[in-house]
Amino acid sequence: MKNTLSILLLAASMISMAQSQKEAEYAAYLKSSIALWKRCIDQADKTFGSQSFEKGMAMYGLLNSTMATRDKETFNDNVDQTIDLFKNIIDEKPDWGEPKAALSAIYGLVIAYSPMKGMLYGMKSSSLSDRAIGQQPESPFVHKVYGGSKLYTPAMFGGDEDEAVRSLEKAISLYEKNGDLENNWLYLESLVNLSMAYQKVDKIDMAKETLEKSLDIEPEYGWAMAVLNSINK
């Protein structure tokens, strides 16, 4: 009986810590705050471990947020250790798709900062996202990354705007099916990426509706407001 109670208390504690981590990352994302992301990384390290997927995702969040202010210095200071962490996770758990999706997304950020590196990292990124979608076709995060890869990769290198729409729609559907919407920055970003994909295929009304949906969830979502304003000009 005592063992069962201890297990239940431990499970409840882990759920509480995961929720706290999620809330902190959501705040860091909305504010594009490097300082807050660094706190999230420290919190994940203490809570889940120095080589945990949770810490890796906080590090990915930090790298992703540097794009808002083009903070290349912070990106360069943190990208190599983030890549190494996800490589270690992939080596330890080769059948898990989500770490591959995360590494694919990070390679995409490397290319965004240094387009000349596209020849080196583009194929690696595409290969990882393809493998991830094959291993975890019901993961919303995997579809988010796969759809983003298809959206932002030039057609001559495997980009496909229609495929981007399909995969991003799938990501959003899965997040909603799982009820994983509250304090979820990945879900919000999926909505904006889908709106960008809709614009690429000339579905402007659907792009607006998707942006308005994201703003209904988070009225202070600056990226969604900026994209919607650009459409309405």
- Residue-wise pLDDT tens digits, 191-225: 999 999 999 999 999 999 999 999 999 999 999 99
Terminal alpha carbon distance of the chain: 65
Q: What is the mean pLDDT of residues 12-35?
A: 83
By the 8 A CB rule, do 149 and 129 touch?
Answer: yes
Length of the chain in terms of residues written: 233
Residue by residue, DSSP assigns 45-113 as: HHHH-TT-HHHHHHHHHHHHHHHHHT-HHHHHHHHHHHHHHHHHHHHH-TT-HHHHHHHHHHHHHHHHH
Q: Is the pTM of this model over 0.75?
A: yes
Q: What is the mean pLDDT of residues 180-194?
A: 96
Q: What is the mean pLDDT of residues 8-35?
A: 78
Distance of CA 110 to the CA centre of its chain: 15
- Residue-wise pLDDT tens digits, 66-96: 999 899 999 999 999 999 999 999 999 999 9
What is residue 19's predicted lDDT score, i.e. its pLDDT?
81
Confidence of residue 12 (pLDDT cuts 50, 70, 90): very low
